[in-house]
Amino acid sequence: MSGAGGRMRAQWLRGVRDSAFARWMRRAGGSVARLLFPTRCPVCDGIVADFSEKICAECAPKLRLVTAPYCMKCGKKLQEEGELCGDCRTKPHVYVRGRALYEYESVAASIYRLKYGERREYAAYFGEELAYYLGDFIRSVHPAAVIPIPLHKKRFRKRGYNQAALLARALGRELDIPVREDVLYRIKDTTPMKRLNPKERQNNLKKAFIMRQNDVKLETVIVVDDIYTTGSTIDEATRALQAGGVEKVYYVTLACGAGI
């Protein structure tokens, strides 16, 4: 095909792609997909009636945001006056700072279904909410990348997906920040953290992660996870990232408990 012919064909294809009919087809295709695979509300797990939403209107207020005053280190809701929660006053952390979106109790059932109940679609809504409410904090640290806390390959094979990666992708998409899932790896198949006390959590996670490359020299990153409890997971991930050349590690999580 001649150069002129190729240009004419390219112009015709662009016209078809951008036509009103094509736009209608894309919208219709999305509606058909929603009919075949309806969105589940992350709170009640019912089908969301409004195709333009990802959560039931009456369910959204049930998710309690972590509002000020919160710990200036870990982001937990403070129960008393001061800049730091009791945990952060007594336990040093190696990450710079973190924030959480929701109080854990209000979103616990949703996190369970996201992790173990194949409700991957929740991540799109939660990623948007993380970007909306914590976007200013995230932008203020100028991260080079968003990095999800990884699963061990054995657990990944069993579950089929990593909920932290789903959240990270949705967040990165909303804020236009690169998501790097090829940087941090979990090399130790740790015991589930909910069964352990704080000291056991710390020992359980020692040398659990490794950073395998830093080819673009990531100086500042945002780590993403679903829950922040004692900070052991974020601290150990931070140590691995720092060993690989990352200078500053911040984090955001979907939920956290209250500070003491």
pLDDT confidence of residue 217: 83
Determine, yes or no, domain membership for 238: yes
Q: Mean pLDDT for each consecutive 10-residue tract of the chain (260 residues)? A: 54 49 46 64 93 91 95 92 90 96 97 94 96 98 97 92 97 97 88 61 75 81 96 95 95 86
pLDDT confidence of residue 125: 96
Q: Which domain holds residue 237?
A: 57-256
Determine, yes or no, domain membership for 116: yes
Determine, yes or no, domain membership for 16: no
pTM strictly above 0.85? no
Instruction: Specify the amino acid at residue 239.
Output: R
Determine, yes or no, domain membership for 209: yes
The enclosing domain of 151 has a CATH number of 3.40.50
**Domains identified in the chain, total number:** 1
Q: Strands of the chain (E only): list them.
A: 97-103, 145-148, 184-186, 209-211, 220-228, 248-256
Determine, yes or no, domain membership for 49: no
The two beta strands, 220-228 and 145-148, are parallel
pLDDT confidence of residue 39: 85
Determine, yes or no, domain membership for 169: yes
pLDDT confidence of residue 99: 98
> Is the separation of the CB atoms in 172 and 135 below 8 Å?
no
